[in-house]
Amino acid sequence: MRIYKAKDYDEMSRKAANIISAQVILKPDCVLGLATGSTPIGTYKKLIEWYEKGDLDFSEVTSVNLDEYKGLDKENDQSYYYFMHTNFFNYVNISPDSINLPNGMEPDSDKECARYDEVIRSVGGVDLQLLGLGHNGHIGFNEPAEEFKKGTHCVDLQASTIEANARFFASMDEVPKQAYTMGIRTIMSAKKILVVVSGADKAGIVKKAFTGPVTPHVPASLLQMHSDVTVVGDAAALSELDI
């Protein structure tokens, strides 16, 4: 595991974007596994900037996103489809046909999970998987549990997540209660993994996940077993590590 300490969020974003750029330049038809959340927004901004300068070309890239809320359509501004388009895809030349996310509007979970696993298999797996880190050690929507869930699966969101999301919706009924997420085996099968972390509130979980015991109670701890993981964090997020 390589760990890069950046002085702040901006430097973290530039470093992470550098690593993604290197992947796209070395393998223009690569498969990028992408994440939503607040942490990678700056990384996407840098990639857009460099694309606009003519330094990057996404025309042959395929993307597969980690997760999506079940029950939200593409137009819903809380959907991850919407997030990815408004924060990244709409501003670069990735082909719309090469963009993949779980379909939140498919009510049959077994069918959608099997479809998404087949999508990932058919594109040849992920070359570089970008991940954020949840405060409880979750990656994608793989929450702390008694065991690692392997393939794409449907997750019942924790009550705290549902409550936290309620502010974005007109009524409690509209708040998603479930989500589709790539499983741990899929994430671990990526050839390279890039984790971005920012802020002092992540310092404790960074230490636990990357130096503590490997356990499904801290899903990100399994990344210690992957042979090519790069963590890019700002000084605040890495402050509890001895580096």
Residues annotated catalytic, as ranges: 67, 136, 138, 143
Cα–Cα distance, 240 to 242 (Å, whole number): 7
Residue 137 as a binder of ligand F6R (CB under 6 A): the answer is no
Pick between residue 60 and residue 188 the one whose CB is nearest to ligand F6R: 188
Pick between residue 57 and residue 178 the one whose CB is nearest to ligand F6R: 178
Residue 138 as a binder of ligand F6R (CB under 6 A): the answer is yes
Cα–Cα distance, 242 to 117 (Å, whole number): 38
Mark residues 42-81: x for contact with ligand F6R by CB under 6 A, - for none: ------------------------xx--------------
- Which residue in this structure is represented by tokens 């963009």? 99
Residue 139 as a binder of ligand F6R (CB under 6 A): the answer is yes
Closest CB 198 distance from ligand F6R, rounded Å: 8
Closest CB 124 distance from ligand F6R, rounded Å: 22
Looking at 5-13, 102-110, 131-139, 165-173, which segment touches ligand F6R (CB under 6 A)?
131-139
Pick between residue 140 and residue 233 the one whose CB is nearest to ligand F6R: 140
Residue 183 as a binder of ligand F6R (CB under 6 A): the answer is no
Other beta carbons within 10 angstroms of residue 234's beta carbon come to: 24
Looking at 70-78, 139-147, 152-160, 230-238, which segment touches ligand F6R (CB under 6 A)?
139-147
**Residue whose CB is nearest to ligand F6R in the complex, by number:** 132
Pick between residue 116 and residue 141 the one whose CB is nearest to ligand F6R: 141
SS (H, E, C) the chain: CEEEEECCHHHHHHHHHHHHHHHHHHCCCCEEEECCCCCCHHHHHHHHHHHHCCCCCCCCCEEEECEEECCCCCCCCCCHHHHHHHHCHHHCCCCHHHEECCCCCCCCHHHHHHHHHHHHHHCCCCCEEEECCCCCCCECCECCCCCCCCCCEEEECCHHHHHHHHHHCCCHHHCCCEEEECCHHHHHHCCEEEEEECCHHHHHHHHHHHHCCCECCEHHHHHHHCCCEEEEEECCCCCCCCC
Closest CB 182 distance from ligand F6R, rounded Å: 9
Mark residues 26-45: x for contact with ligand F6R by CB under 6 A, - for none: ---------xxxxx------
Binding site for ligand F6R (CB under 6 A): 35-39, 66-67, 132-134, 138-141
